[in-house]
Amino acid sequence: MKLAFLFLLLFSTSILAQNDDNIPGYTFDTLNPIGYVEPTPVGIDEMKYIGNQYITRDDSTLMNYITRIIQNDIDFHADFQFVGIDSFYMKMYEIKELDILGWQRLGADYLVKLEAEFPSDKIRVRWKLYDAIRQQIITKDVVTRKKSNWRVMGHEIANQIVKNLTGEDGIFLTKIVYVKKIGDGKEIFIADYDGASEIQLTNTGVINLSPCFSPKSNEVFFTSYLEGNPKLFKVHIQSKKMTKVADYKGIVAAPSISPDGNKIACVLSKDGNSEIYVLDINGKIIKRLTKHRAIDSAPTWSPDGQMIAFSSDRSGSPQLYIMDADGINLHRLTYQSRYNDSPIWSARGDRITFVSRTKAGRFDLASIDTSGTQYKVLTEVGMNENPHFSPDGKHIIFTSTRLSSGDIYTMDITGRNQRRITRNGNTTNPNWGPLR
């Protein structure tokens, strides 16, 4: 009798120690980036003045600021890292100015040289991109802007550098939207991708959530409690005019705009519980996609608009599912962890990032192949939620409580280079705008 009780006690502890690792066919594989390649080091020299006139203190500062914008942008990009002048190296060898060979010795594979002039009230920057190893010029260009547009100029130059080195458009002129607590309400804000030039879009005094850029128009769709129950609204970025889009019984929430900009996948509860619906861009129901007594939520479109991923607790706990855009061929995607929610489909189409409750009991961001394999955990600190991809599919923006009550962070798709974008706390629900 005693032996039997002892055996039962031991057996029960082994049951407690079991976790999701024992699900056949799926194994955790954390923090092992896929297709990881060392970022390419790019040296960016300080901007030099090449005009003939004396320049003012403000102009000198302007040159410095534009250089810093370019340096920050290149360092931000997943494929590159910024190499700056090593002051110790310069002093040690009594070097006043580095030539290309010197930059190559500092570790740069490429070098960007910047020269500025000030015609009338504008600034003209000549930039040149060099192959530091072969010590050859790759390309060069000239950009002229008003002095007040110094941020745009810096981002444009960085975009051109990225385009010449990767063939893809840079994301440095994209915008982000997010939700920030103001008084008793939560309002929608828009800013540059790096958090600069923040502008408030809504001023309702109520709770507004889940902002989502339209890929075609200059509008942001969001859920608002302006009229009591949550309904779907949109706000124009320039005029800040708010318009109601969808008003149905129950809740209208979690909008996701299709890549062609013509449809909205969202959650409606008008038939009793949360289901996924597809609406047209004016809010009229096209089709109901899910019919299950479970809670279905957080729809996200694939980049080709052919499939939708969403979260559902039909298996007993929130897990991710994929279905065709018309609701057929529904199948489960995730088996790792007992809680997976808030999926977002990569702009490249091959991976989905989502919130996963990890072994530590925290909410972390994880990503998975669309075939359901290669599960990777991307974060390690704080509670991390609301992921969204950049339009180039190489960066992720998300909310984290690691250093505050909630701020916006970015990282690349392998979880590296995590950066804080906002600093005021109480900031959540980011969404990355399209390339324009």
Q: How far is the CB of 226 from another protein (least distance, A)?
A: 32
Q: Which of 58, 94, 121, 184 binds another protein (CB under 8 A)?
A: 58
Do the Cβ atoms of 274 and 291 come closer than 8 Å? no
| 134 counts as binding another protein under rule CB under 8 A | yes
Q: If you compute the radius of gyration of the chain from its CA atoms, what whole number of angstroms results?
A: 25
Q: Which of 55, 143, 285, 435 binds another protein (CB under 8 A)?
A: 55
For tokens 């090593």, the residue is 86
Stretch that binds another protein, among 42-50, 180-188, 205-213, 299-307 (CB under 8 A): 42-50
Measure the CA–CA gap between 146 and 7, rounded to whole angstroms.
80
Q: Which of 31, 50, 95, 199 binds another protein (CB under 8 A)?
A: 50
Contacts of 81 (CB under 8 A, 6+ apart): 39, 40, 41, 42, 74, 75
| 291 counts as binding another protein under rule CB under 8 A | no
Largest CA distance in the chain: 99
Q: How far is CA 242 from CA 201, 219, 221, 398, in A?
A: 9, 9, 10, 25
In 183-251 the beta strands, taken as DSSP E runs, fall at 185-192, 199-200, 208-213, 219-224, 231-236, 242-246
Complex with another protein: residue 140 or 287, whichever CB lies closer: 140
Binding mask 190-219 for another protein (x = CB under 8 A): ----x-xx----------------------
Q: How far is the CB of 314 from another protein (least distance, A)?
A: 28
Q: How far is the CB of 242 from another protein (least distance, A)?
A: 28
Binding mask 306-325 for another protein (x = CB under 8 A): --------------------
Binding mask 328-367 for another protein (x = CB under 8 A): --------------------x-x---------x-------
In 99-155 the beta strands, taken as DSSP E runs, fall at 110-117, 122-131, 136-146
Termini Cα distance of the chain: 75
Do the Cβ atoms of 410 and 397 come closer than 8 Å? yes
**Residue ranges in contact with another protein by CB under 8 A:** 2, 6, 9-10, 13, 17, 34-38, 40, 48-52, 54-58, 60-62, 64-65, 68-69, 71-72, 75, 79, 99, 101, 104-105, 107, 109-110, 131, 133-136, 138-139, 163-168, 194, 196-197, 348, 350, 360, 369, 371, 374, 380-381, 417-420
